[in-house]
Structure 1
Amino acid sequence: MQARDLMESDVKTVAPDDDVADAFKKFARYDFSGFPVVDDGDRLVGVVTESDLVDLFEPDDETLWIPIGLPPFVDTLTYQVKAPWADLDLGVDMVRNADRPISEVMSTDVATVTPDTDVNEVLDLLAGDDPDINRVPVVDDDGRLVGLIARQDVIRAFRDKRLA
C-alpha cells in the first residue's frame, strides 16, 4: 500500500496571501483542523492550523495566579484564572489580526510524502513523536500538492482491507 492509496485528492487549501479572516471562514465552513497553504502554482508552502490562529489571541501575560488554602499550603496550591478584561482584548485582537496574511502565521516546516511513499513511512509520521502532525500533505516531484492523508484515512484504509 502506498500514499496514493490512502490520500484524499480533493483538498481544500488556502493561499499565503489569504488573510486570517478568510482562514477563520474556512474553518467554520469545513470540518478540518488545518489547511495546506499553496502558491499560485499549487506548490505547498506551508500549513495553517486552528492552533496557529488561536495562538494569535492568547497573550501570555494575562494569567493571574492566586494562592489558596491556609499556611503552610499557600506555596503549593494555586488556581489559574483569566483576568476579566481578557474578553475585551480578544475582540481587539480579532480586529487587529483579521487582515494579517496567512504567510505570517502558517507553519513552513511541513512533513510531506510523495504518492509512491510506502504506507509504513506515512504511519511513522502520523504516529511519531511530533504531536503536531495530524495530516500529511502528498506532493509530486515539483512540490505541487496532489493529496492529503489524515489519520482517519489510514485507519479507514486498514479497516477496509481487514473487512475485504
Structure 2
Amino acid sequence: MVTAREIMTSPVETVTPDDDVSDVLTRLAKADFSGFPVVEDGAVVGIVTETDLVDLFQPSNRRLWIPVGFPPFVETLTYSVDLSWSDLDVGVDLVKNAGKPIRDVMITDVVTVSPEDSVESVIDHLADPDRDINRLPVVEDDQLVGIISREDVLRTLSERGVSV
C-alpha cells in the first residue's frame, strides 16, 4: 500500500496568517505551484490559493443584474450587464487590498491527511465532487509535515505503472 508519506513533498513552503496579501501574491507569482498552507506555530490554520487572491482583484461574478419594467417589478425582464475590468479598477483594488493579512482571505476549513493514509484516501479527497481540492496538507501530531498535490498523485501512479 502506497502511503501519503511516500508521495508527499517536504519541506513545505508556507505563509502565516499575518503575512500581507501583496507579499503572498508576489511569492505565488514566482512559485511553480498555486497555493500555500497557512501555518501558525507549525499547525495548519488555513490554506490560500491563487483563486482566493485573484478574486480580491477581479471577482469572478462581475455582472450587474438590472430589472426592467414597472414597479413592483413582478414578471419583469432582467438584463445582465458585464462590468469589464479596467487597469484603474485593478489598481484601485490592489491598493485597497495590499495591506490585508492573509487571515482575511484564507480558507479555514482545510482537509488534511496523515502520513499513514493510503493513496486511495488521498485520491478520494482530491476527487471529491463537492470540494475543489488541489493540494492536501499532511499533518502528524498537529504539525505540518508535507503536502500532496494532484500532480504528486498522478506522478506516483504513472511511476508505478498504474493504468486507468
Same fold (TM over 0.5): yes
Q: Which residue of 2 aligns with 1:46?
A: 46
C-alpha distance in structure 1 between counterparts of 2:82 and 2:22, whole Å: 28
Shift of 1:80: 5.6
Percentage of matched positions with identical amino acids: 52
Q: Which residue of 2 aligns with 1:18?
A: 19
Shift of 1:151: 0.6
C-alpha distance in structure 1 between counterparts of 2:16 and 2:60, whole Å: 29
Shift of 1:60: 7.6
| Aligned pairs (5 A) from 1:1-164 | 1-39=2-40, 41-58=41-58, 63=63, 81-83=82-84, 86-141=86-141, 143-162=142-161
Q: Which residue of 1 aligns with 2:72?
A: none
CA contact (8 A) 1:27 1:33 kept: yes
**Which amino acid in 1 is paired with 2:101?**
P
CA contact (8 A) 2:126 2:132 kept: no
| Alignment deviations for residues 113-162 of structure 1 (CA, whole Å, 9 cap, x no partner) | 00011111101001111342011100012x21100000110111111111
- CA RMSD for the aligned pairs? 2.4
| Alignment deviations for residues 30-82 of structure 1 (CA, whole Å, 9 cap, x no partner) | 0211110001x21111000011111212358853579xxxxxxxx79x88643
SS at match of 1:88: helix
Q: TM-score, normalised by structure 1?
A: 0.82
CA contact (8 A) 2:63 2:80 kept: no
| Alignment deviations for residues 92-121 of structure 1 (CA, whole Å, 9 cap, x no partner) | 110111010000100000100000111111
C-alpha distance in structure 2 between counterparts of 1:140 and 1:83, whole Å: 45
Structure 1 gap segments, 5+ residues each: 67-74
Shift of 1:4: 0.3
Structure 2 gap segments, 5+ residues each: 67-76
Counterparts in 2 of 1:8 and 1:62: CA distance versus 1, 3 Å: closer
- Structure with the largest fraction of helix: 1
C-alpha distance in structure 1 between counterparts of 2:52 and 2:90, whole Å: 15
C-alpha distance in structure 1 between counterparts of 2:156 and 2:16, whole Å: 30
Q: TM-score, normalised by structure 2?
A: 0.82
C-alpha distance in structure 1 between counterparts of 2:33 and 2:14, whole Å: 11
